[in-house]
Structure 1
Amino acid sequence: MVNGLLCWIHLTGTLAAYLAAAVHDVQHKGLNNDFLIKSSDKLALLYNDISPMENHHLATTFTLLSQEPLNFLARTPRKMFDAIRKVVINMVLATDMRGHFSSLSLFKSKLHLTDEPNASIVSQRPSDSGGHTVAGGFHPNKAKQWTPVALKCADIGHLAAQPEVHRRWVLLLEEELFRQGDREAASGLPVSALMDRSKAGITKSQTGFLNIVALPLFKAMAKAFPAMEPLLAGVQVNYEAWRLEEEAEKAAEKAADKGTDPK
């Protein structure tokens, strides 16, 4: 699947995409941006409440790369380094869920995705006549639109994993969110939705997240790149499992209510 995507960008773009994927969560605090902003965390103050966690990932990455022993791009021509840096910044900033829907909408509009069965950009190879394409590659301007969305898919990639792997990730994420809720309560802040240990967590809201966020994202990428279809299928399998579980729980609750009905 990875090769099915990376064949559409030149080598510089491929390097940038791998680098962005490797560093997109470096030094993550296990807290979301809303908490950093509400608690006046130093990162929120430093980045003026604008994607503080993602900006920190990027700043940390390029600070490390500026150190001689770590700078594997030291001999890269300046123009190429600037291009790589721009792609990495664009991709990592896109993982801020606050801009999810606008990013997805832009992606679909820029790539002219339609509901036609065969309307994928893979079948729309650009002409070499303009002199702006890489041999066997994809137009750089369009690559800027889809590489951030590809990283967004990878960021929540556990949704496409085998059910047992996916469930383990969800439980770990739920615990991370509960820990943030604990900190919010200890700080006198309102506890965010799905982060209160005394109430239902994200394990009880997966169908909503999958239906509203994940499925449209993976469907758009699979429409653009058929190589993504196995991942979309994985997301659909996990969605169906959560949906059936939710229906069973509702049926059990309904039956229990009838059993206690004095009538």
Structure 2
Amino acid sequence: MKEKSKSIAVLDREGGLSQSEFLDLSNRNNLFTNVSISCLQAVRELQFSGRFDEAQVIIEKVVGDTNSQSEKLIGFILLSELLNKWGSCMPSYTIDVMERASFYADQAVALCEDMISNHMASEFNDINEILCSALYWKSLNLASVGRLGGCERWSTKIAFEEAEKTFFHMSAIWKSSRNNDLRHIQGSKSFVKGVILFCRAIAVEKGYLQSSDCDGKTSDVLKKESLAQFKSAYESFFSIYGSLHNQTVKAITMICVCCKMCGDRVEALRWSEEEVKARIKLHGEWHPRTKMAKENLQELKGGIEDTTSVLEDVDDLSAQDFPAERMTLEIDPFKLEDVETLTSAMRMFADMGLVERFNIPRHNLARFVLAVKNSYFDVNPFHNWRHAWSVSLASFKIMTETSASRLLHPTEKIATLITCLCHDVYHPGVNSDFLIKSAAPMALEFPAPNVLEHMHWNSTKKLLQASCDCDILLNASEDEKQTVLDLVHEGIMATDMHTHQRVVDGLSRRIEAAEGKKAMNVASPAEAAYDANEPEDRRELMRAIVHASDLSGQSLPKEVAYTFGRGVLEEFHNQSMRERMESLPETAFMKGLHEPLAQAKAQLGFLHYVLQPLWKRISTLFPELEAQYHRVVERLEEIDFENLESWPGRHDGLKI
């Protein structure tokens, strides 16, 4: 750009990129994160070994060691939630566990109310939402105490009375609140009411309560009433979140349980199938609740053949089915048929000579690309198969049409292609920080700041196992395969946005090195900057190609760029809404994206402060990419805060 636009000047005056936590790793440590990670580590022990006492000691130490009332409060809420959530997965799920869960929820409520009365809640955006979260878990946990026959602290009758009183307290706060989606409130109320009715039904059935304690209702009547509440909760949650959300899946689980207990096997089977599909997509095959859901489904099916995971027939797929002349960055990935994305991905391997070099059987390659495609969720507005395919095409073009083709060895080339195809497999549509602060199952499995990248790598590694029929490295030597896997791991970790500045700084240093070798008559800037005989040089170049390809959406034809841009805005907006609904710390750069000005600031900031420096450096080293860099600049220059009506990249469909 010849001079700074007025809109960029506005961003500069406001402090530049307003997405600091998007790029700065240090910003991951917020009020919730330290407590969350400690609790997650403890609950992982609870999940896999059932050592509840040890988990309690670890978490209590975290809460006991802090002087912050806010951290104590969040710690208590996490304890009450996680003991409930994970305790239900364990064979040792007992009254002792639920008594502890209820105790921690009770402590959270008391502490929260004390903070409100003493005006100590300034750290929270809405302390009433935090209180409602504590009340929510207290009501659920006490109902479970009643279902299990009561305990020393709360008898069966008192547990249910306290659960009902807590429920009405929570409902009263929600009724006076103006900051919530009414559908979320109604869904949560219906779910809690359903749990209380369900637990009462079990307590009556087991003789812990008399029908007279439940207005004369029998266990069967209470079960039917609870089923109606769970269906109401499902409808509310589905209307807000769709099927792939923990709240929706919890309702599905309880509907299935109630249908089964009411003797409606057909309906139980239908809902059980929905639960299995959703839990596999949300939590993965490794999660205990997924395993439980699959076991319940098989029990319901009896001798019926399992047809829940039919693999498409790929025997006829061939790389030659996709014309070579269509392998261009001008192609619109959203207009391709699914089969075209598969055959074109196969063509990338073939045209780079990787099929021949690594002796990849066509069957395995076809199975691999299909398995990768099926590992992405179409419901994600951005992190879906079309994004992965586009990223892979960008890396393919860089590695075939620039001097990178001469610098990288076959191991780096195949690792780059695998990385780009797989770098977002099973992406849940939210970022790692959300998974950590919401105590998501995925964060339990991969307890690290970059949860997603560890999950993507773990899932990719499984696709390339020797026993898998989609292993495309089966004919490589053991050492060569390990080298490729190491490079893929490194490449996937490089897609974490917190590595961005390191990549940009590395490119700057390489450009300086190339400038110093101008007089040496080197074939290209990149060949002056990188030494093809140095493994570390090739690895650094590979990381840069992967990162640039991952961020190539805005370098593509404008309609494709707009589609990708809207997808990102929608995913961020959806996460922000979930944070708000679930009383989690809100991510600053995702807030308010239903407003065109907020969308424009987010997009312009990303283009100017992130993409433009990256693509300027990439195109300096690889002049063949100048057209892509100029497209990034075009997308940047067309955003005018004073004339947003003319900006075609805005998303008019985001609502609160």
Distance apart, 1:144 and its partner CA: 0.8
Residue of structure 2 in register with 1:27 after alignment: 426
CA spacing shift, 1:115–1:123, aligned 2, 3 Å: closer
Matches within 5 A, 1:1-263: 1-2=397-398, 3=400, 4=402, 5-66=404-465, 67-109=467-509, 111=510, 113=512, 116=515, 120-123=525-528, 126=531, 133=533, 139-197=534-592, 199=595, 200-242=597-639, 245-249=640-644
CA spacing shift, 1:64–1:249, aligned 2, 3 Å: closer
* 1:151 partner amino acid: V
Q: Deviations over 1:181-236 (max 9, x none)?
A: 11111110132224335545434322211111111111121122222222112111
CA spacing shift, 1:176–1:249, aligned 2, 3 Å: closer
Whole-Å separation in 2 of the counterparts to 1:106 and 1:26: 27
Distance apart, 1:106 and its partner CA: 3.3
Q: Deviations over 1:133-192 (max 9, x none)?
A: 2xxxxx332111121121111112111012222112111211111111111111101322
Check conservation: 2:418, 2:488, Cα contact below 8 A.
yes
Distance apart, 1:115 and its partner CA: 9.1
Whole-Å separation in 1 of the counterparts to 2:428 and 2:406: 34
Distance apart, 1:108 and its partner CA: 3.1
Check conservation: 2:573, 2:591, Cα contact below 8 A.
yes
Check conservation: 1:170, 1:203, Cα contact below 8 A.
no
Residue of structure 2 in register with 1:136 after alignment: none
Residue of structure 1 in register with 2:196 after alignment: none
Q: 3-state SS of the aligned residue for 2:641? A: helix
Q: Deviations over 1:89-116 (max 9, x none)?
A: 111111111221123223433x353695
The unaligned stretches of length 5 or more in structure 2 are 1-396, 519-523, 646-656
Residue of structure 1 in register with 2:111 after alignment: none
Instruction: Give the number of the structure whose alpha-carbon radius of gyration is greater.
Output: 2
TM-score (norm 2): 0.34
Check conservation: 2:530, 2:537, Cα contact below 8 A.
no
CA spacing shift, 1:113–1:6, aligned 2, 3 Å: same
**Structure 1 stretch 20-29 or stretch 116-125: which is displaced more?**
116-125
Q: Deviations over 1:48-103 (max 9, x none)?
A: 22311011111001112114212121221111111111111111111111221123
Whole-Å separation in 2 of the counterparts to 1:210 and 1:21: 21
Whole-Å separation in 1 of the counterparts to 2:545 and 2:474: 27
Whole-Å separation in 1 of the counterparts to 2:584 and 2:576: 9
CA spacing shift, 1:158–1:11, aligned 2, 3 Å: same
Check conservation: 1:15, 1:84, Cα contact below 8 A.
yes
Whole-Å separation in 2 of the counterparts to 1:19 and 1:184: 33
Whole-Å separation in 2 of the counterparts to 1:63 and 1:90: 16
Distance apart, 1:23 and its partner CA: 0.5
Check conservation: 1:194, 1:202, Cα contact below 8 A.
no
Number of residue pairs the alignment of both structures matches = 237
Using CA pairs below 8 Å that are at least 6 residues apart, which structure has the higher relative contact order?
Answer: 1
Check conservation: 2:555, 2:632, Cα contact below 8 A.
yes
Check conservation: 2:511, 2:617, Cα contact below 8 A.
no
Distance apart, 1:249 and its partner CA: 4.7
Whole-Å separation in 1 of the counterparts to 2:563 and 2:526: 34
Whole-Å separation in 1 of the counterparts to 2:451 and 2:443: 5
Whole-Å separation in 1 of the counterparts to 2:598 and 2:589: 4
Distance apart, 1:124 and its partner CA: 5.4
Q: 3-state SS of the aligned residue for 1:246? A: coil
Check conservation: 2:511, 2:620, Cα contact below 8 A.
no
* 1:94 partner amino acid: A
Distance apart, 1:247 and its partner CA: 4.5
Residue of structure 1 in register with 2:48 after alignment: none
TM-score (norm 1): 0.81
CA spacing shift, 1:185–1:125, aligned 2, 3 Å: closer
CA spacing shift, 1:202–1:143, aligned 2, 3 Å: farther
RMSD (CA atoms): 2.5
